[in-house]
Amino acid sequence: MSPHRAILLSLLLAPAASALDWDKTFKPTKGWQTSTVANAREKDIAIQASGKPFFLTNAATPKKAGYLQTLGKFGDCTVEAEFLIPEGSNSGIYFQGRYEIQILDSHGKAKVTDGDMGAIYHRWDNKHQPKGYEGHAPLVNSAKPAGQWQKFLIKFRAPRFTKDGTLLEKPRFLSVHLNDVLVQKNISLNGPTRSAQRKGFVAQDHIFIQGDHGPIAFRKFQIVAEDFSKK
C-alpha cells in the first residue's frame, strides 16, 4: 500500500477489525502507510501488508517520514493511543502541534528524565541556561519493553482567552496515564516544547505525531473532544 495514502485517526480498532477509512482524519504524509501486521524486529518494524489494513505506521521509511497531522483542529480533548516501537526508537504526540508527550524506548531505566516515555518534553532556547528547560519527567517508569503494545490515555486542557483574545489561562495536561499508570498530573505549560510545529497560544489546532526519529506503529488512536472548563 502506498506510503502516500492518507491515514485516519479517531476510530477504535481491534486485531480483527475491518478496513478503516484512515483518510478522513489525517492529511497525506510522506513515509506513513497502513498495514495489517506490525512486528518489532531489533531496530526496525517488519510490515507485511495483506488483506484489510488496521495499523498505521511509518516503518517503511522511518528516517524520512514527516509529521503526521490531523485534518481537524482540537482544543480540550482526550486521546487514547495504542502503539508499538522497536528497540531504540523515538517519537512523540504534539497536542495543538506544540506540546509533546514523549515516546521513547525507556523500559528498565532506573532514573527517567524529560526525554523518556511519558514525559512532557522540555522547551528549548539557545539563549537560555540551560538551553533545555521546563521539561517534566514521568512520575514513574511504566514503559514496557520494545516490541510490546503500549497504551496512552491523555487528557489535555487548551488555553483560555478573554473576548479580546488576551491569554487568560495557560494550557495544561490534566493527566497522562502510560500503561494504566499515572505519569503526569495537572502540568501547566508556559509555551511550546522543543521541535514544536506551531508557535504561540491558540484555542484549537492540529495534533501531530513525530515521524522522523524512528519507526512506530499504531493500532488505535482515538480523539474525543471534551469540555474541561471546570477542571
Identify whether 41 is part of a domain.
no
Conformation bin of residue 67: beta by default, left when phi > 0, alpha when psi is -120 to 50: beta
Instruction: Look at residues 97, 112, 95 and name the one whose alpha carbon lies nearest to residue 183.
Output: 112
Residue 10: inside a domain: no
The model's pTM:
0.86
With respect to residue 206, please indicate whether it lies within any of the assigned structural domains: yes
Residue 3's pLDDT is 29
Query: What is the per-residue pLDDT for 157?
Result: 98
Instruction: Give the CATH number of the domain where residue 198 resides.
Output: 2.60.120.560
Tell me if the bond preceding 62 is cis, omega within 30° of 0: no
Could you give the number of structural domains in the chain? 1
Residue-wise DSSP of 133-170:
ES-B--SS--PPPTTS-EEEEEEEE--EE-TTS-EEE-
Structural domain span for residue 193: 66-225
Q: pLDDT tens digits for 178-202? A: 999 999 999 999 999 988 888 899 9
The answer as to whether 133 is a domain residue is: yes
Residue 96, domain member (yes or no): yes
- Residue 38 falls inside a structural domain: no
39-80 pLDDT per residue, tens: 776 567 777 655 566 678 887 666 678 899 999 999 999 999
Residue 52 placed within a domain: no
**HSE-CB for 225 with a 13 A CA cutoff:** 8
Instruction: Report pLDDT for 52.
Output: 61
